[in-house]
Amino acid sequence: MNDCRPVQQNPAPEWYGRLHVRTTDVSPVRWLTERAPGHGAFGTVAGIAAPGFGAYARILHPASLDERPVRWSTVAAAHGTRVAPGTNWHEVIGVDRDYVNASDYGLPGVWDEHPAEGPTPPAVASPLIPLLSRHTRTPERCWFGLWHGYGRWDFDRFPTFETPGRDEVLLSGTLTDAVSPLTLDEFAELPDLWWPEDRAWCVGGDVDLVSTYVGGSPDLIAQLLSEPELEAQPVAAGDGVG
């Protein structure tokens, strides 16, 4: 019998891993919340990773085989499809977007788990953090947004700020602290939004996506696209996010 009991919420502490949950002032997000009309609209790259940057990239969350990451291009080759900028995961595996016509789960010897749906997974964060660190003057002073709707944590007593389609709790810490929530709980999500004090770049994800988006300088994005541990594509601010 399925256990239909609701997931019990944990009281949200003022620390989320090593990230400090801001209890009062959320003014550091004003540059995100005061967007010009039509810029950073819901469902666009800039709506996820903030408008106004010189270039953007989409990082594909890997699928997996026996808990080891597998690139979308590897899966596509096995299914006889291809990965182009804007390709969705269901198109890679040749099913409709709701997976209702998927006759088998995975492909033996190629993949057995869909890409992680949600904000940046650890397999992406690990190679991404050193790269981001080289492109900011303030890696020790960073800000983060976490969707307050993640069910295992009760953030109702904290102030929130709005992004397109979401309400976020504001956190602060160093860039390397971004992965520290994993020490709390195996189900703890990394932040949806990351940006340094100098606003040199912005990383964005969402509970419903299987990609992470990064806005930054053309130099940062060029290096990100060539990083061998990441599978990334160039995108534009107004592109849809699937």
Q: DSSP secondary structure string, 169-223? A: EEEEE-GGGGGGGGGT-TTPPPPSEEEETT---EEE--TT-SEEEEEE-HHHHHH
- pLDDT at residue 217, as a whole number: 98
- The tens digit of pLDDT for each residue in 16-33 reads 999 999 888 888 888 887
Gap between the Cα atoms of 213 and 53, Å rounded: 12
Q: When comparing pLDDT for 103 and 122, which is higher?
A: 122
Q: Which of 42, 107, 104, 49 is nearest to 80 (CA)?
A: 107
Gap between the Cα atoms of 154 and 156, Å rounded: 6
Q: What is the end-to-end Cα distance of the chain in Å, rounded? A: 35
- pLDDT at residue 130, as a whole number: 98
DSSP-based three-state secondary structure for 144: strand
Gap between the Cα atoms of 119 and 117, Å rounded: 7
As a whole number, mean pLDDT of residues 99-115 equals 78
Gap between the Cα atoms of 163 and 224, Å rounded: 25
- The percent of residues in the chain predicted with pLDDT above 70, rounded, is 89
As a whole number, mean pLDDT of residues 97-109 equals 70
- Say if residue 125's pLDDT is above 90: yes
Q: What is the DSSP letter of 46?
A: H
Give the model's confidence band at 150: pLDDT under 50 very low, under 70 low, under 90 confident, else very high. confident
Gap between the Cα atoms of 105 and 24, Å rounded: 46
Give the model's confidence band at 154: pLDDT under 50 very low, under 70 low, under 90 confident, else very high. confident
- The tens digit of pLDDT for each residue in 190-236 reads 999 999 999 999 999 999 999 999 999 999 999 999 999 999 999 99
Which residues, in sequence order, are bridge partners of residue 170? Answer: 145
Q: Is 77 left (phi over 0), alpha (psi -120 to 50) or beta?
A: alpha
- pLDDT at residue 96, as a whole number: 77
- pLDDT at residue 200, as a whole number: 98
- The tens digit of pLDDT for each residue in 45-60 reads 999 999 999 999 999 9
Give the model's confidence band at 39: pLDDT under 50 very low, under 70 low, under 90 confident, else very high. low
Task: Record the tokens describing residue 137, joined without a space.
Answer: 């003057």
Q: Which amino acid is at 132?
A: L
Task: Record the tokens describing residue 25, joined without a space.
Answer: 């002032």
CB-side exposure of 107: number of CA atoms within 13 Å? 15
Give the chain's mean pLDDT: 88
Which residues, in sequence order, are bridge partners of residue 214? Answer: 57, 203
